[in-house]
């Protein structure tokens, strides 16, 4: 796996007139994982999007080394295509890869249009695409939503294997996530001051 690193320094995020968090920072290298915790609406998804480069921070910087793969509430699979064809589209862009369809429990779903899959099945399909990208940095936004206990354990195992192989994982989740050695940031610890002073 290629060398990877992701670091944030003095990050702040603003949504409308509301400052969600400020002065947030961390640095992750190969084999490390971070869980972002906090109540709904506190900014976990916004932070994931900032780390992915999809949203500009209100303040601060993000440094990345290595390709990034993102899983969020949108599976990025054409809802009108059968799952097999939807995954094949990305395979043509990402290169040949093992989606681990059997392990993810979606091997029997390849002829079913994505729009007919359940929430849990769509999440498993998104994870297949994640694996197929072969990116060293995984950004996972609520990866356990819609999964049963068996699916939750599988995601935890996949992330553990990814980190063991030298990858990085950032997990935004309000649910418990079991991973040895993972650090945790509570976004409530980075609430801005009422005046917002100190940001520029």
pLDDT tens, 84-109? 999 999 988 887 778 899 999 999 99
How many other C-beta atoms are found inside a 10 Å radius of the C-beta of residue 74?
10
Q: Which residues pair with 168 in a beta bridge?
A: 137
- On whether residue 38 sits in a domain, the answer given is yes
Is it the case that residue 192 has pLDDT exceeding 90? no
Q: Which residue has the tokens 């084999």?
A: 31
How many domains does the chain fold into? Answer: 1
User: Packing angle between helix 149-164 and helix 119-133, nearest 10 degrees?
Assistant: 10
CA pair distance 149, 174, nearest whole angstrom: 16
Write out the H or E segment, with its range, that includes residue 171: strand 168-172
- On whether residue 7 sits in a domain, the answer given is no
At 107, give phi and psi (nearest 5°): -60, -35
Q: 198 falls in which pLDDT band (50, 70, 90)?
A: very low
pLDDT for res 199: 58
pLDDT in tens, 135-185: 999 999 999 988 999 999 999 999 999 999 999 999 999 888 999 999 999
Q: What is the CATH number of the domain that holds 158?
A: 3.40.50.300
Listed in sequence order, the residues at least 6 apart from 13 whose beta carbon sits closer than 8 Å to its beta carbon are 19, 20, 21, 43, 46, 47, 50, 55, 57, 58
Is it the case that residue 1 has pLDDT exceeding 90? no
pLDDT in tens, 7-66: 999 999 998 889 999 999 999 999 999 999 988 889 999 999 999 999 999 999 999 999
- On whether residue 147 sits in a domain, the answer given is yes
Write out the H or E segment, with its range, that includes residue 63: strand 59-65
CA distances from 169 to 12, 91, 107 (A): 21, 22, 25
Domain that holds residue 144: 30-55+67-185
- On whether residue 2 sits in a domain, the answer given is no
- On whether residue 17 sits in a domain, the answer given is no
Tell if the pTM clears 0.75, that is, is over it.
yes
User: Packing angle between helix 83-94 and helix 119-133, nearest 10 degrees?
Assistant: 20
Write out the H or E segment, with its range, that includes residue 48: helix 44-52
- On whether residue 112 sits in a domain, the answer given is yes
- On whether residue 44 sits in a domain, the answer given is yes
- DSSP per-residue codes, 128-144: HHHHHHT-SEEEEESTT
CA distances from 84 to 21, 104, 125, 199 (A): 40, 14, 10, 48
- On whether residue 191 sits in a domain, the answer given is no
């Amino acid at each position: 796996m290629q060398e990877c690193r992701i670091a944030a320094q003095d990050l702040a995020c603003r949504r409308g007139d509301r400052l969600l968090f400020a002065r947030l920072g961390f640095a992750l290298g190969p084999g490390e994982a971070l869980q972002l915790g906090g109540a709904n609406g506190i900014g976990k998804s916004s932070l994931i999007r900032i780390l992915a480069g999809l949203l500009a921070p209100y303040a601060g910087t993000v440094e990345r080394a290595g390709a990034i793969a993102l899983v969020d509430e949108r599976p990025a699979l054409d809802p009108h295509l059968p799952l097999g064809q939807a995954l094949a589209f990305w395979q043509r862009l990402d290169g040949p890869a093992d989606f681990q369809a059997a392990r993810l429990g979606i091997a029997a779903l390849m002829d079913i249009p994505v729009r007919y899959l359940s929430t849990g099945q769509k999440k498993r399909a998104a994870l297949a695409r994640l694996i197929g990208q072969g990116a060293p940095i995984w950004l996972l936004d609520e990866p356990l939503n819609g999964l049963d206990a068996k699916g939750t354990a599988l995601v935890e195992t996949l992330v553990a294997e990814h980190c063991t192989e030298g990858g990085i994982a950032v997990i935004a989740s309000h649910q418990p996530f079991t991973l040895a050695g993972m650090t945790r940031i509570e976004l409530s610890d980075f609430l801005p001051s009422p005046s917002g002073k100190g940001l520029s």
